[in-house]
Amino acid sequence: MERTAVHIALITGPAGVGKSTLCWELGAQLAAGGIAHAAIETDELDRVHPRPRAEDLDRISPGVRDVSQINLAALWSTYRALGHCRLIMSGVMLHLGFDRRWIQAAIPEAEISVVRLRASEPTLLERLDQREIGSGLDDQVERTLRQARRMASEDTDGLIVVPTDGRRPPELAKSVLDRLGWMTDAQSSGEAE
């Protein structure tokens, strides 16, 4: 029996740009269309203290040096066994080449579409002000602006670039799903309920 290809929508962008919100809305629209999918926030793949040592990881998966890769492979094996072929992932992904490699190592059959979210600096600052509380705001603002400036200077060939200023999550999600072709593909294959 031929296995269905695995499609990953990798939602990237600076902290505060709206990645998590978009992922929730993508999931809601896919669910409303009866389209099976899974969602994973990459921050949760390595939220552990103390950080695993190389020898600890080597015992689990020889040669692997990133706990995120091990955890993604474990999660995906369950989702795949349940029949899923679409995965929404989100993370800042400042080193896109490196991040593609560990994701591809965890899910070798995956076709990865990178969706880069962008927002103006005033929009990012407004969103961070609503999201962050306590003394960490100043550090997060500095980190976010550094991330946004770096990403704005990078080549975007092959990426789906989505400006988020002034756009609501449902509109953004519909636009991304249209660009990915997930709704159309599922409906034409008879997969959608």
Chunk the chain into consecutive blocks of 10 residues (it has 193) and report each block's average pLDDT, rounded to whole numbers: 82 96 97 95 94 92 92 96 96 94 95 97 92 82 95 94 96 96 75 67
Distance CA 31, CA 47 (A): 28
Give this prediction's pTM: 0.91
**CATH top class, domain 6-183:** alpha beta
Report yes or no: 10 and 115 within 8 Å, Cβ to Cβ: yes
Domain ranges of the chain: 6-183
Q: What is the enclosing helix (H) or strand (E) of 34?
A: none
Bond preceding residue 163 cis, omega within 30 of 0: no
Q: What is the reported pLDDT for 65?
A: 87
- Which residues lie closer than 8 Å to 56 by C-beta, 6 or more apart? none
